[in-house]
Structure 1
């Protein structure tokens, strides 16, 4: 029976969907706006993101995934179903086969939750693949050769670091330090330093327009508005790149340490390959200014940011869908 195969990058910050033969057909924030009175979902995706921090009391815009895993099962299911209906892949006769990416060290309970949510949203067979592996494929790395490839995938909730060879993960680490943590640190810094409260969206603007993690790597400034904690009134301040670099030092150092520990656990032959080939960075966090320079300096290997890092995982699911029958057979054995 003809059925559509689809790949889903179920991210903490964004959901991307790849349909076989059509490419990436959806890229929307992982946000759902809920009416707390009725428990009904009012908006999903981009429409719901517009509501973050701007809703009356009875409407809450929530993100059902936290740190790369499902924090709220029912809302995740509502979100997935909405997106699948939107791209119109289900027919009356057949349900799609779905390939979903997960962080490397999630528990079997968390895996089961992701599978169940996808099944309830209308999937026929659900396959799970580890995110750094899929990201590496999507970034154009040939991971099926007997040589070492290293990928650092920085998402919204987790950073997945892995060394791959022969189509599989050799060493890996997944830490809960990623894009959201950067936003939080910026928020916290502005609050402590300037006694000013800002929202998530403002923190994200600072991250994109001003932030750098490489000392002296950037010299931008930005006027931002928020609420003064003392007077309670709106106030404008100017933030500069070098102070944001200081604010982001802690999460960045954790990420560098995780990458170093993955390299330390890698067999020497594969380490030698990584010196030749370098490290590829994927995910939205790879767009953070100076992060490639900093990693290159700390790991002492070349570091490259993938083309379109935010869609590497979705593209990778697309390439893996080409071999989905093989994957299906493997899972049945």
Structure 2
């Protein structure tokens, strides 16, 4: 139960939608849109485990590997791997979202996006961490549902629509009709795996040891899933594994496309697998509406063209693709009475019913 003081602060706290991602965590505030987009990194003092930095500052420290600081990514494959640190990160983000308000102790209502394939234990961990971070209510929505709403897909209509959400840790493919997921696929393969592909490629092909931050920069700069109109290059800096000395190698976008091809192929195969199970009447709908692609790694150059070539259905990247899940979660809060049925409870596949999914203090 809320204390009278918490209840009072709750009346003036914000409604918040959160995309709790492996690579980035985004926060949407009802009526304001996206207010926070921070890397999902936390810097801790090694001895005391006290939080030093959260988000972008922590990620900057990660690339430098400081001696007395432990850099933690508290989410792996879209789920919580470090519970206490995740709760601390959420507390930081909730307080940051309330910086422009007068509320000294935020007690917001929160909707958090989760991968569609998570277990009951993983669902409960997200709810508990959100409540421990100060939320007065914690609700869950499956990420493909939130992404589809954020991308503007007609998920409540009878005609079918499909979303492909590629984040840092997971790729979600879902077909919607009448507010429900008809077919879904969830794989723990996404942007982080592409970064690792690039690290391994540079080690094996160029004998150069690079870090994940460098691989991520190369991915964003020149990686593609389809031949580019004009191929590009990127200078990789790292350590030569033969001499042990600093070295640099200029690589082309063709090489990076080759490096990540295995991961891209798995994502394409997952989309094909979902389409194989799609009834013909919904395939006809998709032939008209196309397949929407969102998520941070969904912005990979040429991905829409590659998907379209492989499945013979028009594919398009949603506007502001990285923020679709957070915006969709926020949209549910804006139209809570009509969209609350899209929330899921701790029991697999359960809906909110009359009281809403998740848990309240």
Structure 1 and Structure 2 fold alike (TM over 0.5): yes
Of residues 283, 287, 291, the one that matches 2:303 is: 291
CA positional deviation for 1:90: 8.5
Q: Hey, what's the Cα distance between the residues in 1 that align with 2:153 and 2:109?
A: 25
Structure 2: which 5+ residue stretches go unaligned?
Answer: 1-10, 342-351, 357-361
- Within the candidate set 91, 94, 107, 1:84 is matched to 94
Partner of 1:278: 290
Name 1:332's counterpart in structure 2. Answer: 355
User: What is the aligned partner in structure 2 of residue 323 from structure 1?
Assistant: 335
Match of residue 43 from structure 2: 33
Contact in 1 for aligned 2:111/2:330 (Cα 8 Å): no
In the alignment, is the contact (CA less than 8 A) between 1:218 and 1:241 conserved in 2? no
Checking the alignment, whether the CA contact within 8 Å between 1:143 and 1:165 is kept in structure 2 is yes
Task: Check whether the contact 2:94–2:106 (CA below 8 A) recurs between aligned residues.
Answer: no
Q: Distance in 1 between matches of 2:252 and 2:105?
A: 57
Partner of 1:56: 66
Question: What do residues 110-146 of structure 1 show as CA deviations (whole Å, max 9, x unaligned)?
Answer: 0000000000001111110011111111111111110
1:258 aligns with 2:270: yes
- How far off is 1:299 after superposition? 1.0
Give the distance between the partners of 1:331 and 1:125, measured in 2 at CA: 15
Shift of 1:156: 0.5
Aligned length: 333
Q: Does structure 1 retain, via aligned residues, the 8 Å contact 2:17–2:110?
A: yes
* Deviation of 1:257 (Å): 0.9
Partners in 2 of 1:218 and 1:2 — Cα distance?
Answer: 52
User: Against the structure 1 CA distance between its residues 250 and 94, is the aligned structure 2 distance closer, same or farther, given a 3 Å change threshold?
Assistant: closer
SS at 1:261's partner residue?
helix
Three-state SS of the structure 2 residue aligned to 1:174 is: strand
Matching of residue 201 in structure 1 with residue 213 in structure 2 = yes
Q: How far, CA to CA, are the matches of 2:104 and 2:255 in structure 1?
A: 56
Structure 1: stretches of 5+ with no match in the other structure: none
**Which residue is 2:183 aligned to?**
171
Residue 55 (structure 1) shift: 2.9
Structure 1 residues 56 and 216 mapped into 2: Cα distance closer, same or farther (>3 Å)?
Answer: closer
Question: Quick one: distance in 2 between partners of 1:26 and 1:60?
Answer: 23
Distance 2:42 2:329 in 1: 24
Q: 2:317 aligns with which of 271, 282, 305?
A: 305
Q: Does 1:123 align with 2:138?
A: no
Deviations, residues 164-222 of structure 1 (Å, cap 9, x unaligned): 11111110011111110111100110011111111112101211222112146551111
Residue of 122, 143, 156 corresponding to 2:168: 156
Distance of 2:155 and 2:41 partners within structure 1: 33
**Which segment is superposed worse, 206-215 or 192-201?**
206-215
Match of 1:230 among 228, 242, 245: 242
Superposition TM-score, scaled by structure 2 size: 0.89
- TM-score under structure 1 length normalisation: 0.96
In 2: Cα distance, 1:72 partner to 1:80 partner:
12
Q: Given that residues 212 and 218 in structure 1 are in contact (C-alpha distance below 8 angstroms), is that contact kept between their aligned partners in structure 2?
A: no
Q: What is aligned with 1:144?
A: 156
Deviation digits for residues 227-260 of structure 1 (CA, Å, limit 9, x no counterpart): 0111110011110111111111111111111111
SS in 2 for 1:262: helix
Match of 1:15 in 2: 25
- Bigger shift: 158-167 or 313-322? 313-322
Q: How many angstroms does 1:272 deviate by? A: 0.9
Kept in 2: contact 1:217–1:290 (CA 8 A): no
Distance 1:3 1:211, change over 3 A: closer
Structure 1 residue 11: Cα displacement? 0.7
